[in-house]
Amino acid sequence: MIRHALAGLSLAELQNLLQPLPAFRARQVFHWLAQGVPSFEAMTDLTLPLRHDLANRFLLYSATVSQQLEDNDGTVKLQLSLQDNTRIEAVLLSDNEGRKTACLSTQAGCPVACVFCKTGSLGFSRNLSSPEIVEQFLHLSSIADIANIVIMGMGEPLLNLEALCAALAVFTGDLGISRRRITISTSGIVKGIRELASKRLGARLACSLTTADPTLREQLMPIARANPLPRLHDALAYYQQEQGQRLTLEAVLLGGINTREIDARALGAFVRGLDVVINLITWNPISGLCFEGKPLREPSRREVERFGALLEQQGIQVTRRFRKGIGIAGACGQLGFNPHKQMDTTMSDTTR
Ligand code: SAH
Ligand code: SF4
């Protein structure tokens, strides 16, 4: 018999599942789960027989932590094994002030297949359920207090919109996390951006533009064919209009590929009419990834600086994310479990 896991459910779902137990019992259990409790045994305000009964009937978590990797800069990566043995990863990032950000996955693998991304190179396994998304946060919460959530782990969140929205409802509702502290990063799924905008959930949006040269974008991100730049621009403007927030555009800089002057000009033209900050991300090396027959390479520091300056000259606000910095992109772009190895060797950057 497959036992139902309790972590990651909304309070209402938990109350339903635990009936005929009174609602206050479900609230107690929810409170423990929100703290990342290690066992039913540890739920000390429940009677002992109740703790035993719950332990017999339910699982606490559906995922088990198969590996926990830690970096000197405070980054922690959890490798989680789900009930059907699907593997996913979730990351805890630390900024200079010690504030923690949870980077969560929404899919196992990713169907979008961007040429520069490790997750994309794995292919697509399946969508995660809402509790599986929330549970990643709960596992990370047991390590540290979390200030922000970024939906930038494995997968394309807007291709799993229903589970994403259900998870957001748990975060902002039962778990009391402010909407402004949650950022969703998309590769630019027009339909999903519009749907998310009309739901007015208030989460921040980041779009991985990478380049505003349409031909190059289609080569680097195959999803761009069905989501052309003019329609993406309109969808982002609509999101901004509905949510009234500054957007982030992410550009992973690939050495010698999307750092040309025409890429900077094209970005300048694309952002017209939008209130944005462009986040420049140095590509994190993943062996075996090629473009036009040549291995991808990191941009030089000079290349990144020159590109940033070209954007700033056009009056665009730019932030830079270096690999040794808070590491969000590094962690996100490199996530992916290799079933043939014990440990994901590409994470050596963040485990050194
Ligand atoms: N699918 C979503 C969210 C996950 S990817 C998206 O594409 O936005 C999160 C971020 O990592 C994206 O901005 C993506 O462009 C970036 N990324 C992917 N591969 C990378 C790599 N090798 N180095 C640095 N960033 C990378
Ligand atoms: Fe998927 Fe994002 Fe990676 Fe592209 S960058 S393959 S959308 S996870």
Looking at residue 345, its pLDDT comes to 31
The average pLDDT across 219-229 equals: 98
Q: Are residues 99 and 45 in the same domain?
A: no
Which position has the higher pLDDT, 340 or 251? 251
Q: For residue 79, report the distance from its CA to the centre of ligand 2, in Å.
A: 18
Nearest CA to ligand 1 atom 12: 208
| DSSP summary character for residue 187 | S
Res. 320 pLDDT band, cuts 50 70 90: confident
Q: How far is CA 347 from its chain centroid?
A: 16
Looking at residue 95, its pLDDT comes to 87
Q: Which of 2-6, 195-199, 218-222, 344-348 has the lowest mean pLDDT?
A: 344-348
- Domain assignment present for residue 245? The answer is yes
For the record, the structure tokens of 346 come out as 């590409």
CA torsion sign for 298, 300, 305, 307 is: negative
Residues of the domain holding 49: 11-57
Which residue among 281, 283, 284 has the greatest number of ligand 1 atoms within 8 angstroms of its CB, and so is best to mutate? Answer: 281
Question: Does pLDDT of 322 surpass 90?
Answer: no
- Domain assignment present for residue 137? The answer is yes
Looking at residue 332, its pLDDT comes to 53
Query: Is residue 94 classed exposed, middle or buried when 0-12, 13-18 and 19+ CB atoms within 10 A define those classes?
Result: middle
Q: Which whole-number Å values give the CA distances from 330 to 58, 123, 326, in the listed order?
A: 36, 19, 9
Domain boundary among 21, 40, 57: 57
Q: Are residues 25 and 40 in the same domain?
A: yes
Per-residue model confidence as pLDDT tens digits over 131-156: 999 999 999 999 999 999 999 999 99
Q: Is residue 250 in contact with ligand 2, taking CB distance under 6 Å?
A: no
Strands 294-295 and 64-70: unpaired
Domains in the chain: how many in total? 2
- Domain assignment present for residue 228? The answer is yes
Q: Work out the number of other CB atoms within 10 angstroms of the CB of residue 56.
A: 9
- Domain assignment present for residue 232? The answer is yes
Catalytic residues: 89, 332
Question: Does pLDDT of 329 surpass 70?
Answer: no
Q: Are residues 135 and 228 in the same domain?
A: yes
Looking at residue 73, its pLDDT comes to 84
Looking at residue 350, its pLDDT comes to 30
Nearest 5°: the CA angle 227, 232, 237 is 160
| DSSP summary character for residue 129 | P
Looking at residue 21, its pLDDT comes to 96
Which position has the higher pLDDT, 200 or 171? 171
Smallest CA-to-CA distance from 163 within 332, 296, 45, 171 is with: 171
Strands 276-282 and 317-321: parallel
CA torsion sign for 129, 332, 139, 196 is: negative
Q: Is residue 252 in contact with ligand 2, taking CB distance under 6 Å?
A: no
Contact 184, 157 (CB under 8 A): yes
Q: Is residue 115 in contact with ligand 2, taking CB distance under 6 Å?
A: no
Q: What are phi and psi of 209, to 5 degrees?
A: -75, -45
Domain boundary among 19, 42, 57: 57
Res. 1 pLDDT band, cuts 50 70 90: low
Q: Is residue 186 in contact with ligand 1, taking CB distance under 6 Å?
A: yes
Q: Are residues 130 and 198 in the same domain?
A: yes
Q: Are residues 114 and 32 in the same domain?
A: no
The average pLDDT across 160-189 equals: 97
Give the up-direction half-sphere exposure of residue 341: CA atoms within 13 A in the CB hemisphere.
9
Smallest CA-to-CA distance from 33 within 8, 3, 53 is with: 8
Rounded CA separation 144/158 (Å): 28
Looking at residue 338, its pLDDT comes to 46
The CATH number of the domain where 242 resides is what?
3.20.20.70
Q: What are phi and psi of 231, to 5 degrees?
A: -70, -35
Q: What is the mean pLDDT of the chain?
A: 91
Q: Which amino acid is at 65?
A: V
Q: Are residues 293 and 267 in the same domain?
A: yes
- Domain assignment present for residue 346? The answer is no
Which residue among 150, 252, 279, 323 has the greatest number of ligand 1 atoms within 8 angstroms of its CB, and so is best to mutate? Answer: 252
For the record, the structure tokens of 136 come out as 């990643």
Rounded CA separation 280/321 (Å): 6
Which position has the higher pLDDT, 145 or 2? 145
Q: Are residues 48 and 83 in the same domain?
A: no
Which position has the higher pLDDT, 74 or 29? 29
Looking at residue 152, its pLDDT comes to 95
Q: Are residues 256 and 212 in the same domain?
A: yes
Question: Does pLDDT of 343 surpass 90?
Answer: no
Per-residue model confidence as pLDDT tens digits over 3-39: 899 999 999 999 999 999 999 999 999 999 998 899 9
| DSSP summary character for residue 41 | G
Question: Does pLDDT of 189 surpass 90?
Answer: yes
Question: Does pLDDT of 101 surpass 60?
Answer: yes
Looking at residue 190, its pLDDT comes to 98
- Domain assignment present for residue 136? The answer is yes
Question: Does pLDDT of 341 surpass 70?
Answer: no
Rounded CA separation 290/296 (Å): 5
Looking at residue 327, its pLDDT comes to 45
Rounded CA separation 209/280 (Å): 10
Res. 217 pLDDT band, cuts 50 70 90: very high
Ligand 2 atom nearest to CA at 120: 6
- Domain assignment present for residue 301? The answer is yes
Residues 6+ apart with CB under 8 A from 162: 130
Q: For residue 23, report the distance from its CA to the centre of ligand 1, in Å.
A: 41
Owner of token pair 């005929």: 20
For the record, the structure tokens of 152 come out as 């930038």
Looking at residue 344, its pLDDT comes to 36
Ligand nearest to the CA of 185: 1
User: What pTM was computed for the model?
Assistant: 0.92
Q: Are residues 154 and 194 in the same domain?
A: yes
Q: Are residues 136 and 269 in the same domain?
A: yes
What element of type H or E holds 243?
helix 229-243
Ligand nearest to the CA of 110: 2
- Domain assignment present for residue 33? The answer is yes
Q: Are residues 36 and 145 in the same domain?
A: no
Ligand 1 atom nearest to CA at 323: 24
Rounded CA separation 60/35 (Å): 12
Q: Name residue 88's beta-bridge partners.
A: 80
Nearest CA to ligand 2 atom 4: 114
Per-residue model confidence as pLDDT tens digits over 256-297: 999 999 999 999 999 999 999 999 999 998 889 999 999 999
Nearest 5°: the CA angle 53, 9, 200 is 165
Q: Are residues 138 and 235 in the same domain?
A: yes
Contact 49, 155 (CB under 8 A): no
Nearest CA to ligand 1 atom 26: 333
Q: For residue 151, report the distance from its CA to the centre of ligand 2, in Å.
A: 12
Ligand nearest to the CA of 105: 1
